[in-house]
Amino acid sequence: MTQPIPPSPALPKALGHIRVLDLSRVLAGPWCSQNLADLGADVIKIERPGAGDDTRAWGPPYAKDAQGNDTLEAAYYLSANRGKRSLTVDIASSEGQALLRELVLHCDVVLENFKVGHLKRYGLDYASLKEIRPDLVYCSITGFGQDGPYAHRAGYDFLIQGMGGLMSVTGERDDLPGGGPQKAGVALTDLMTGMYATVAVLAALTHRDRTGEGQHIDMALLDTQVAMLANVGSNYLNSGKPPKRWGNAHANIVPYQTFACEDGHLIVATGNDGQYQKFVEAGGRPDLAGDPRFATNPLRVQNRELLVPLLAEMVKRKKRDEWIALLEEKGVPCGPINDVGEVFANEQVQARAMAIDLPHPSAGQVKLVRNPIRMSATPATSGMAPPLLGQHTTEVLREVLGRSEEEIAALRERGVI
């Protein structure tokens, strides 16, 4: 059961003093701005009049209203736009551009993910905006960065997972049935770029607060994907050998993989020799603990083709939950492979209230996944559902820019907003 978040206007917000002008759409940029919104920033999401963020139409599924009918809010859009205010502006019009430049004077951060050079034609690039707001933190998110031979190419998560090496190490081994490259089931490159962008924005704001100096942040999906190869990238740089796919096994640790039980599948992740010994002893094979071929992890990696079939035979003799109870008692890391329904039914996930309900103007309530950041003094949770298209246009123009109702009506009549 999802847990509603009670309104707590008195709670302090870590970024309550920060305003963000968010020109990004789809996932990497909105993931960054949602993080900033959850941390308390006032995020003004700029969208195209009549259309909005592309992901608004990336359904089904859509949020449903009280009668069970689909609303216009795609679940994909809802996943990355909590806590923001939506302002519709025709960015291609001179009046719209002037309106955004005026908003920049009241913002600390600009976030955008247009193609390189695209915003320069509108006077909304970093160099132009720096002239009117020298301490501005301006974050650009692109597929390949602001320079280099690929700078002007469009970048998409799926392409970057392939180009950046992730798919070369994801999927079953080529010599086994079903072998071949696979993308991750979620858009990891987009999400990690959004996370790195969040860190960069916070670092730039800290620098600005110390020195008064703004700066341009250049985030690239490909850079992020190469960086998040982590130990896999390090393995290659220090060996000269491109790593291969290991499926649900691990290149450097054995056993660290899935096994078929009598009634399902089990993940066993032994991180040291002691855990390995407890694992095989629990399975009634203490001889495998004493076997000199398997005494240490380097030996187990070297002899995995001998050891893993023996372990697989051992594991399939017991049921999954029997194994989990047995190994947890002995301190051996293990767990099930849950589908997403089982994830949200899990008692630990429920205890941590990772599923939340937020009030929504057309759906009544929308179900979302809460931000995982837990801070004792400044909670990282927004009480605002993802906005309807243009929901806050009048509010933002009146509150931030001091426009009158008549002026706002005139802008709307001319198609600027």
| Active-site residue list | 190
CA distance 301 to 293: 10
End-to-end CA distance of the chain: 40
Residue 166 backbone dihedrals phi, psi, to 5 degrees: -65, -40
- By CB neighbour count within 10 A (0-12 exposed, 13-18 middle, 19+ buried), where does 8 fall? exposed
CA distance 62 to 188: 22
- By CB neighbour count within 10 A (0-12 exposed, 13-18 middle, 19+ buried), where does 19 fall? middle
Residue 209 backbone dihedrals phi, psi, to 5 degrees: -65, -30
**HSE (side-chain half, CA atoms, 13 Å) at 360:** 27
What residues have CB less than 8 Å from 9, skipping those under 6 apart? none
